Chains A and B, each alone.
Chain A
Amino acid sequence: MPPTPGDDAAARPRHRWVVEVLLAVVLAHSVALTLWLAPSSPLREAVGDQRLASYVDPYFQQGRDTAGIGTQRVDESFSVRAFVLPESGGKGAATPWVDLTRGDVRADRRDIAPERVHLIARRLATNLNLAMFSLNEPQRKIVRDLAAEDLPSVVKARLEAAGPDSEAVRFFQAYDQMATQFASLYAQSRWSEGQVVQVQFKVGRRTVPPYAGRATTTLGDVPFLEFSFGWRATYRGSLDARETFDSYVKK
């Protein structure tokens, strides 16, 4: 019987050497991914999360969210309002709050493959809630009382003076800036009849009632725990970005 390619390859030293190297690479890669996805263990701790992350991110980036349905138990909201000056001049006024997540929920009703755009507000809320839960109560008060003229460097110094976790402050400021930019672009498109000079946003979170109480209480009966953020100076953004928001918001 003639040799199979496998026998042939195994018999040739150069081929076998290539195969063994490739097998070793596959094995090392598989072990790294296994440790990354697996729950905490002494082995994983010995390798170190940072070391694993530096390999897995960005090319093989994944986490618990890829592992199917988890134990999501919260609903979140992201709301925006603006302070608008009339084009004709005179005293400005704050607009009513607009809950962007509520609109997304309405749009996704009966939809098994919703448009991705409806994820944005909820994801912003998730990150901002996380940022606020990472700050202590004195820091949250500083955030609530922020004014449009407060510079990021000054805010950073005040927050760091009020709490020990500088990483939490950095995380908050990154998402605060993004939320300000998003809220500004949204507000300029939504309230385009005047000049949007300041914007404000707030996020909410409510937890699904315990299973035992499902007959008497629904999630709709649970109030949102809200985190309010102070007023921010409006971010203008590029003309292209403003036009893009116009075409979406005014749709």
Chain B
Amino acid sequence: MIARATAWLAADKHSTYGLSVTRMILGFIVASQLIVNWPDRHYTWGDGSRWTEQVLAGRGWPSFLGLFSQVGGHWFDVAYLATIAFGVLMMLGVYTRASSFMVLLLWVSLYVSNPFVGSGGDAILRVVLLYMCFTDAGRHWSVDARRASRRGEVRSIVPAWMSNILHNLAIILIVHQVVMVYLASSFFKVQSTVWKDGTAVYYPLQTDAYSPWNDLLHPLYANSAFVAGATYTAIVVQMFFPVFLLYRPTRFLALIAVTGMHLGIGLLMGIMYFSLVMIAVDMILVSDTSWVRALAWVRARRGARPRDLEPEHLQDEEHVSTRDGEHVVVRDEKQGAQDVNPVT
């Protein structure tokens, strides 16, 4: 069994398309969040947040994460702009691993400087960014991929099998993280009276923190059918999410349901940032095969020539493999066979 697991881990990178989408969305989130908060940056995270030092002292964060707590004035702005810039670079897939690592370092440092303005989305983002540093998140739809296709073979310092294993283990950890969030959430819910009696959604929607549309949507929130439907749907989707993932048709159903749930939460409760982070991470659960089929379908709908449908898939496989240095992967889609030939 371990031999099979090792082979699965080392043979090829999995979920590369989904991870590329995750990378783009997370990069966008980081950059856009900081741009949105630009006018109040000093008050939120800079010199104006020093009153939180009592909490920071008790958190035990490593000192190297204290950048934003230690710089002020123009240097704070430089670090803030650098975080935006690395977020954009990550989104575009420019030196993806390095930019992901820098985003992780700077974003966590920013979070540490004022924990009063953090959110649940930050926690997921931080953990996923950490795992992403071990992945090949720039394999598709990135400047790195484009550059690799022009340059051809570039020898990597990490052997292909090791790169594949780190990538796939990181994917497993990301998927485990998101599944645990849903599963733990559903376990807490079924232990609560208001979730069991189908009224839980009503309560947060009445509070100021989660009701930006309360005056307009109050009749909806007060409707028993809507409240019970939303409450039980949330429990069912989260509790059975891991089970739904095992079978392709139910996996799509689960992803559509969970994305819809996040969009509903984001739009109705005013926490779009958290919802976007979760949607971004859920994208990893769509397999490469599904992404390729979807792309082929989209291109066919646009009237692309038949020969245009395959090359990107094959080219992408080829880039990454050559970048990793040891192998070229060639897929034979018709026969479903996979041959791997040493280059060197």
List which A189-231 residues lie within 8 A (CB) of chain B: 208, 211, 214-215, 218-219
Given contacts A6-B11, A8-B161, whether A67 and B44 have CB atoms under 8 Å apart is: no
B20 within 8 A of partner (CB): no
Rounded to whole Å, the gap between the CB of B275 and the closest CB of chain A is 9
Closest residue to A207 on the B side, CB-wise?
Answer: B203
Asked if A247 and B162 sit within 8 Å, CB to CB, the answer is no
What class of interface size applies to chain B in its complex with A? 35 or more
Closest residue to B8 on the A side, CB-wise?
Answer: A6
Among B53-61, B79-87, B89-97, B243-251, the stretch that binds chain A is: B53-61
> Which of B37, B47, B183, B326 is the one whose CB lies under 8 Å from A240?
B47
Complex CA gap A232/B116 in Å reads 22
Asked if A15 and B161 sit within 8 Å, CB to CB, the answer is yes
> Which of A116, A240, A247 is the one whose CB lies under 8 Å from B73?
A240
Rounded to whole Å, the gap between the CB of B134 and the closest CB of chain A is 10
Given contacts A5-B160, A20-B2, A215-B222, whether A122 and B209 have CB atoms under 8 Å apart is: yes
Among the interface residues A5, A22, A237, which one has the most CB atoms of the partner chain B within 10 A? A5
Asked if B48 and A112 sit within 8 Å, CB to CB, the answer is no
- Measured between beta carbons, the chain A residues less than 8 angstroms from B54 are 174-175, 177-178
B120 within 8 A of partner (CB): yes
A71 within 8 A of partner (CB): yes
Asked if B181 and A37 sit within 8 Å, CB to CB, the answer is yes
Q: Which of B's residues lie within 8 Å of A, judged by CB?
A: 2-3, 5-12, 33, 36-37, 39-40, 42-44, 46-48, 50-52, 54-55, 58-62, 72-73, 116-117, 119-120, 123-124, 126-127, 130, 160-162, 164-166, 169, 172-173, 176-177, 180-185, 187-188, 191-192, 194-195, 199-204, 206-210, 212-213, 222, 227, 234, 238, 265-267, 269-273, 278, 326-327, 338-342
Closest 7 CB pairs of A and B: A6-B7, A244-B48, A67-B185, A6-B11, A181-B51, A240-B47, A9-B10
8 additional contacts (CB under 8 A) given A58-B61, A218-B206: A57-B59, A63-B123, A65-B119, A67-B188, A68-B120, A115-B40, A241-B51, A244-B43
23 A-B pairs with C-beta separation under 8 A: A4-B7, A6-B6, A8-B10, A19-B5, A22-B169, A26-B169, A26-B173, A33-B177, A38-B184, A63-B123, A67-B184, A68-B182, A68-B238, A68-B278, A69-B210, A71-B192, A71-B194, A113-B36, A116-B37, A117-B44, A119-B116, A120-B116, A178-B51
Q: Which of A's residues lie within 8 Å of B, judged by CB?
A: 1-10, 15-16, 18-20, 22-23, 26, 29-30, 33-34, 37-39, 57-75, 101, 105, 108-117, 119-120, 122-124, 174-175, 177-178, 181-182, 185, 208, 211, 214-215, 218-219, 235, 237-238, 240-241, 243-245, 247-248, 251
